[in-house]
A and B are shown apart, each in its own frame.
Chain A
């Protein structure tokens, strides 16, 4: 009696595990087919963007490099020069340059265009101008982050990133050795066991090797995404554990001077017959004063100054250098010069610190060249795994079918269902896509026999 019972439970378990294997394979298959192309795009663009510092150093050499020569012209004069050259422009940003041999940059907007003007700080003369839309690296990162398709692209990339997590979890289960076997086929591909096994191993083994790196890139990239990322950042900031407000989300402090105490700009009023008392009042700090405040406060030299466009606005100093620990965001009252907020890496909450490190590691700047090379290796690995996965399917695909394992009813797969629901809640876009798949399946695929047999649904 006892033995029979034991036997039947073993059989049940076996059955359950083969059908779990099948359902995970099925999900891995569909997610892979749909998102592999995006993973390849992300890996290629990411591999290029990793080397942004080196690439820009070469292509913008004539804009970046200056020969130190005597006294520097004041920032105010440099900006005056730009205003003279571009009379109807609005100056939005000034970047003094992090070293003696680096040009300074004045960012302006002119008729819907954002331009960067490079100035030689020793002569005060323009070295060149760059339309920000023409920056090749900006295009690459735009492709990487939103497929050059704005919000829709951003959501697609985010979806691909989230589904990569599903691919990783299901893939790990499929890879995990079922029997006690040697390391070959698990961590080393089996080269002599026939083509079919070699194809499987060329997908599964490298995938295992890059799993951690791939998961890392996904998890560190997600906080940048438009939907999940911005909500995540807001929640983290408001809980006190994230970035302080104004860096990613949350408001910027306002100037402490009351609007009525600020001097009116007479040249906008055309004539000075308007009450002279209006001209009396506080006037904004010069940018040179802002620079001396930056020096006094020990801001990392790669900072930029964002120039206030509103009366109640503030000067914002911001530096996001290669290493997370050097980051600064500082708000300065545009009239009094008081430091209203000074957020360094040390002032971030725990989640903020982790995200900051994640970002610099993801971009490959935190540890310089080694960091770039490791990340490049992961990207190349992802491309290999995506292509070999596709090839693996292509080779065993029957002519008229998709060759996808038959789906057991999901109701019998409670752990899997729970996992998908949890992922669907944690990543609402995954949840949304699951609902869409379910609706499609229920209303279309299940009702059209040809579809049903093709998809093996």
Chain B
């Protein structure tokens, strides 16, 4: 009887001790994802009649992603007057993917990047301004309406 109690006691104590020493992030002990991270780089300024380069830098597991499964850019204007649809971005070989487009019309634009690598799929969306905002853009922003997708189709 006593032996069992002692044994039981030892087990409980060891559970407490191991549990308390494990101060590091508990998430590391379970299944982990390798989410794609990215930065979308938009030119500081736009000039008329000139193509601009939009870039996305992909990072996964702390490393730059070369040769991602796919990277597509979708660019459109808030008022619908420009819609570049979905286009494959150029792999710059250093984790950077780019697309050149002209932005002759001023206003509020959206870019949605569709990218995938090693099972992680992302679809971030960023808004940016070329020149000045139009009345329509301002009322759109003020309304705080949910942003309409350029396409409601889902990628892949």
Interface residues, chain A, with chain B CB atoms under 8 Å away: 76, 80, 234-240, 244-245, 250-251, 253, 256-257, 261, 263, 265-267, 272, 276-277, 279-283, 285-286, 288-289, 292-293, 296, 333, 335-343, 347, 349, 415, 418, 422, 425-426
Roughly how many angstroms separate A296 CA and B30 CA in the complex, as a whole number? 22
| Minimal beta-carbon separation of B109 from chain A (angstroms) | 9
For B33, the chain A residues whose CB sits under 8 A away are: 338-342
Residue B138 lies at the interface, judged by CB distance under 8 Å to chain A: yes
The residue on A at minimum CB distance from B31 is A347
For B15, the chain A residues whose CB sits under 8 A away are: 235, 239
Roughly how many angstroms separate A239 CA and B20 CA in the complex, as a whole number? 8
| Minimal beta-carbon separation of B17 from chain A (angstroms) | 10
For B29, the chain A residues whose CB sits under 8 A away are: 238-240, 244, 349
The residue on B at minimum CB distance from A292 is B154
Is the pair B124, A337 in contact by a Cβ cutoff of 8 Å?
yes
Quick one: which of A279, A289, A338, A415 contacts B37, CB cutoff 8 A? A338
For B127, the chain A residues whose CB sits under 8 A away are: 263, 279-281, 283
For B36, the chain A residues whose CB sits under 8 A away are: 336, 338
Quick one: which of B23, B27, B123, B125 contacts A341, CB cutoff 8 A? B27
Is the pair A237, B12 in contact by a Cβ cutoff of 8 Å?
no
Interface size counted on chain B using CB atoms at 8 A? 49
Roughly how many angstroms separate A253 CA and B28 CA in the complex, as a whole number? 12
Is the pair B138, A343 in contact by a Cβ cutoff of 8 Å?
no
| Minimal beta-carbon separation of B148 from chain A (angstroms) | 9
For B9, the chain A residues whose CB sits under 8 A away are: 422
Question: Given known contacts A286-B146, A418-B2, is B30 in contact with A347 (CB within 8 Å)?
Answer: yes
For B2, the chain A residues whose CB sits under 8 A away are: 418
Roughly how many angstroms separate A355 CA and B141 CA in the complex, as a whole number? 48
| Minimal beta-carbon separation of A422 from chain B (angstroms) | 6
Interface residues, chain B, with chain A CB atoms under 8 Å away: 1-2, 5, 8-9, 12, 15-16, 18-20, 22-23, 25-27, 29-33, 35-40, 42, 120-129, 133, 138, 141-144, 146-147, 149, 152, 154
Is the pair B19, A235 in contact by a Cβ cutoff of 8 Å?
yes
For A235, the chain B residues whose CB sits under 8 A away are: 15-16, 19-20
For B22, the chain A residues whose CB sits under 8 A away are: 238-240
For A266, the chain B residues whose CB sits under 8 A away are: 141-142, 144
For B121, the chain A residues whose CB sits under 8 A away are: 293, 296, 337-339
* B interface SS class: mixed
The residue on A at minimum CB distance from B37 is A256
Question: Given known contacts A283-B125, A336-B37, A426-B12, is B30 in contact with A349 (CB within 8 Å)?
Answer: yes
Quick one: which of B32, B35, B125 contacts A333, CB cutoff 8 A? B35
Question: Given known contacts A267-B142, A333-B35, A418-B5, is B126 in contact with A240 (CB within 8 Å)?
Answer: no
| Minimal beta-carbon separation of A448 from chain B (angstroms) | 36
25 A-B pairs in the complex with CB atoms less than 8 angstroms apart:
A234-B19, A235-B16, A244-B26, A253-B27, A256-B37, A263-B126, A263-B127, A266-B141, A266-B144, A272-B133, A272-B141, A280-B42, A281-B126, A281-B127, A282-B40, A285-B123, A285-B124, A288-B149, A333-B35, A338-B33, A339-B35, A339-B120, A341-B31, A347-B30, A347-B31
What 13 new A-B contacts, CB under 8 Å, besides A235-B20, A280-B129, A289-B123?
Answer: A76-B146, A236-B19, A238-B26, A240-B22, A265-B144, A266-B141, A333-B122, A335-B125, A338-B37, A340-B35, A418-B1, A422-B5, A422-B9
Counting chain A CB atoms within 10 Å of each CB, the highest count among B20, B38, B125 belongs to B125
| Minimal beta-carbon separation of B143 from chain A (angstroms) | 7
Roughly how many angstroms separate A415 CA and B5 CA in the complex, as a whole number? 10
For A237, the chain B residues whose CB sits under 8 A away are: 26
Question: Given known contacts A239-B18, A280-B42, is B124 in contact with A335 (CB within 8 Å)?
Answer: yes
